[in-house]
Amino acid sequence: MKKILLTCFEPFGGSPVNASEQALGEFCARLRSSPIDGAEIAVEVLPVAFAAGTRALAEAVSRHQPDAIVGFGEDTRRRYINVETRGINQMHARIADNSGDKPRKMTIDASPSAPGSRELTFPADPLVQAVGDAGLKAVVSTDAGSFVCNTLAYLLPEFGVPAAFIHLPALRQDNRDIPGAGSGSRPDGQAPRGPAHPHSDPGRLRAPATIGDLATAVAAIVAVVAADTPPTRSG
C-alpha cells in the first residue's frame, strides 16, 4: 500500500481559518466513506512559520515515510486552483509569520551550490486536468510567491519522492483585512503570475466557491497522485 502525505497550514495573518486546513478536513471526512483504493492518506497541519514550518515538514516526512507528498496552502489573491511548478530560493515577507519572523530578501538555502529555484517533481498537467474533469478551474502557476508556501515548494523536491504544491483560493470575505494576505502573495504586491492551462475552459469550468468545492479539487488531485505514484516502501 502506498502512502500519500498531505500537508496544509494553520491560520495566519489574523484570520481565524485557513482554507487549506478546511479543505483537507472536508476531504478527510469524505475519505471515511469513500477511501482511495490502494492508498493510505496521512495529513499534517503545518505552522505558518519559516523555521518551524520547515522543521515540521521534515519531521512529518520522517514519521510517515511517504511515497508522494502534496502540499496545500491558501492565497487570497487567487481565484482558481493553482498548481505550482517550482519554488524559488527566497524568503521575503510583507507580514510576519506566526513566530514573528519577517525575513526580507533572504535565501532559504544559503549554500553556494543551492539552485535559485527547484522544480516540483509531480507533473502539473495531470493535476490541472483532474480538477477540470471535476468541473472546477485550475491553472498552472510558475510563481509560488516568497512566503511560507514558497519555502515548502522549494524544499519538497529534496525529499526524493514525487511532490506537488497547490495553492487554493482563500474563499473568505475578510481577505482585504489581512495586509499582505496570501501565503503565496508576491512581495511587490502584484498578483502571482502563471499561464492559464488549455484545459481550463472558462465556458465549461467554474471557480471554486465553497470549501466543499476545494475538497472536491483536493480529492481529484490526490486520486491522480495515488494512481500515478508507485509504492517505494515495503508492506
- Which residues are identified as catalytic? 149
Q: Answer whether 135's CB lies under 8 Å from 123's CB.
A: no
- On whether the CB atoms of residues 162 and 224 are closer than 8 A, the answer is no
For the record, the C-alpha cell of 160 comes out as 526524493
Q: What's the CA dihedral at 30, 31, 34, 35 to 10 degrees?
A: 170
d(CA 119, CA 229): 17
Residue-by-residue DSSP string for 181-198: -STT--TTSPPPP-PPPT
CA dihedral 225, 228, 234, 235 (to 10 degrees): 70
- Asked whether the beta carbons of 139 and 128 are under 8 A apart, the reply is yes
Which amino acid is residue 18, in one-letter code? N
**Local structure of 106: helix, strand or coil:** strand
